[in-house]
Amino acid sequence: MIGIIIAMKSEFIFNKEMKSKIILKKNNNQDFFIYDNKIVFTYSGIGKVNSAIASQNLITNFKLKKIINIGTAGALSKVLRVNDLVFCEKFFSYDVDLTAFNYKIGQIPKEKDNFFSFEKSKAFLKMINENFEIKNGNVASGDSFITNKNYVNYLMFKKEKIDVIDMESWSVANVCNKNKIDFISFKVISDLINKPSSEDQFKINHVLNRKKISNLIKLIIKSN
């Protein structure tokens, strides 16, 4: 079974055909939408704590071969554009700084400072590439909405090659790593952080981004 974690309900809405094949299971105040006994969806809520809890609940309740985190993200890279689909390769936490104790930026003591995508199936990625134009990038997660006004406050963005910023994927990657579960993440660019008014961009582009997320999920469902 494959687990799919999405932060917000507004990022993906089940159509009528999907609803007819979904079984709803509730556990620990979390909803799990089981599709055709092959894929289980859950909405994590926003932020690293919520996504970590949702990930562990998903792993505890279901026998999963992989988790896919799908959602929107802001772009730091100047080569990315709104509505681009990004395959996230490397995951950092931008709001962790224990450099005073000789740890790397983003590193929690005695833990890794970053995680890699764990996807083993080349056929799966090939299938996605054949249907979408995909760009690769490194992502940093944290509990702040980053804009062109505040991103300079975070040392991580100066030290590492960060292309994409979100609020969930690093913690999902961390939980999957601890549980030895394959993990991949796809992000649709909602706003350009190096441009003014990131908040307005996010709101304006939300419907467009949701359409791309829905098309990606439909393809994943079709392939399973």
Sequential DSSP letters for 23-91: EEEEETTEEEEEETTTEEEEE--SSHHHHHHHHHHHHHHS--SEEEEEEEEEE-STT--TT-EEEEEEE
**Amino acid present at 216:** L
d(CA 124, CA 138): 20
**Residue 11 falls in the annotated catalytic set:** yes
d(CA 174, CA 180): 10
> Are residues 7 and 53 in contact, defined by beta-carbon separation less than 8 angstroms?
no
DSSP state of 123: H
In sequence order, the 6+-apart residues with CB closer than 8 A to the CB of 124 are: 223
Question: Which of the residues 11, 84, 163, 166 is marked catalytic?
Answer: 11
Question: Which of the residues 160, 163, 166, 191 is marked catalytic?
Answer: 191
**Residue 191 falls in the annotated catalytic set:** yes
Active site residues: 11, 191
